[in-house]
Amino acid sequence: MATPHIGAEKGDFAPAVLMPGDPRRAERMAHQLMDDAKLVTDVRGILGFTGTVNGKPLSVMASGMGQPSLAIYVNELFMHYDVERIIRVGTCGGLSPRVKVGDVVIANGAHYEGVINTYIAPNIHYSAVADYQLVRAAADAAAGDENVVVAPVVSRDRFYGVDMAENKALADAGTMGVEMEAGALYGLAAQYGKQALAVLTVSDHLFDSSADMSAEERENNFQRALKLAVAAAHC
């Protein structure tokens, strides 16, 4: 039975879902990975596909931009479609000099400024962390790749109007990138007893804009991250 925001039937999604933000990127990933990719939902232009990779079922579905949008789809996938793990495959802005444009961050945690996770424990600053099994699988798949780092990111609800001094302080404390989805994903997965991970390509750098990717490059340059995400999906 379809949900308010997903047009698929029960059983249409695999236990593991790769989740980019952009619907066009979701379509590109699905057809690159799966010769048998089938469109299972397109409500509001948010595309979802299911097929197989090396004989194992896999789904790819977009989340839209930002944590409120992602939270709608994550809730419905976990509640109604028996999805067990979601791996965000997206982009982030680099914060630390330890990463450059084109590198990949396996986000083992996500500092989160928004309100979605405050409902877990209103008087506690909840720590939004990735599932260790998925982090380990992605890290093992990246073994020897100097362009991949395992580290925290910060997940914001604001794209504009952010205090750069705060970003600098986060970078100095070991935060590699800034993005807009992982924090809520990790919190929701924990609430449902599910697994989640974000594997993020650095598409621009907040303190060095000389090599920022174009919109077209952001859509296409996800191969390294995609390989690691598939390893986590099927670990």
Q: Out of 131, 157, 204, 208, which one is annotated catalytic? A: 204
Residue 204 bears catalytic tag:
yes
Identity of residue 61: M
Residue (of 103, 96, 83, 32) closest to 185 by Cα position:
83
- In which element (H, E) is residue 72 found? helix 67-80
Name every residue whose Cβ is closer than 8 Å to that of residue 181 and which is 6 or more positions away in sequence. 21, 63, 66, 67, 70, 88, 90, 155, 198
Name every residue whose Cβ is closer than 8 Å to that of residue 171 and which is 6 or more positions away in sequence. 95, 96, 97, 207
Residue (of 71, 60, 62, 54) closest to 31 by Cα position:
60
Give the DSSP letter string of 119-146.
Answer: GT-TTS----B--HHHHHHHHHHTTT-T
With beta carbons less than 8 A apart as the criterion, state whether 18 and 28 touch. no
Identity of residue 173: A
| Catalytic residue annotation | 204
